[in-house]
């Protein structure tokens, strides 16, 4: 294992003893980032943007999770189709992460606390999205729980548009917390990025306008 790691890693310059980083020549060329991307970003037509250096308004530091909760609240007020499903999302001051803070009080019929049953409520959300009248936002407490719902996420939700010939969208947002390195235990601390990199993307070419961020 040490020999394999030495092929990939190098000491961090001026870093702490034992601190290592991926060798710089192994990082992909940034120009490769758009290779294979089929979208044309038309979903952002008409969206107002600004660069940080030229933004004329006031700036303030905010925690990421507070912004997620506020964006969810604003979007739910604008779009009554959005519903939230997940364990404890309706209590504990915004679930275990705080991403749903204030939503249960503002939208009691659209923030649905679920049993510990990721496969069940992910599948329910997938059916809701395919049916088309609602826009479900699913929260998993930890990324590891995606394996519990793997069939629904990767075989059903992720492939639905392909299975039905692109005849309908599947406007579903999945949000979770990657907690590696935080000491929550072996079933709560994995990073699923590699799994998603090899799984089919089921996103609509025109997803619901603020898909909340997966983190």
Q: What residues are annotated to the active site?
A: 188
* Backbone dihedral region for residue 18 (phi beyond 0: left; psi -120 to 50: alpha; all else: beta): left
The token duo for 201 is 């993307």
HSE-CB of 164 using CA atoms within 13 angstroms:
14
Annotate 85-117 with b (16+ C-beta within 10 A) or e (fewer).
bbbbbbeeebbbbbbbbebbeebeebbbbbeee
CA dihedral 152, 155, 160, 163 (to 10 degrees): -150
């Amino acid at each position: 294992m040490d020999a394999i790691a030495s092929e990939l890693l190098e000491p961090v310059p001026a870093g702490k003893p034992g601190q290592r980083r991926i060798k710089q020549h192994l990082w992909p060329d940034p120009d490769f980032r758009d290779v294979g991307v089929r979208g044309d970003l038309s979903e952002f037509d008409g969206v107002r943007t600004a660069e940080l250096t030229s933004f004329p308004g006031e700036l303030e530091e905010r925690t990421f999770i507070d912004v997620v909760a506020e964006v969810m609240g604003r979007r739910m007020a604008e779009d009554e189709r959005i519903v939230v499903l997940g364990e404890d999302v309706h209590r504990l001051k915004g679930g275990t992460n705080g991403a749903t803070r204030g939503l249960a009080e503002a939208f009691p019929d659209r923030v649905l606390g679920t049993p510990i049953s990721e496969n069940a409520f992910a599948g329910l959300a997938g059916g809701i999205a395919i049916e088309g009248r609602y826009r479900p936002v699913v929260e998993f407490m930890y990324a590891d729980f995606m394996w519990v719902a793997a069939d629904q996420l990767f075989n059903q939700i992720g492939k639905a548009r392909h299975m039905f010939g692109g005849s309908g969208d599947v406007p579903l947002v999945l949000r979770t917390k990657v907690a590696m390195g935080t000491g929550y235990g072996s079933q709560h601390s994995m990073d699923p990025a590699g799994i998603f990199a090899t799984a089919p993307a089921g996103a609509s070419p025109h997803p619901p306008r603020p898909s909340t961020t997966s983190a």
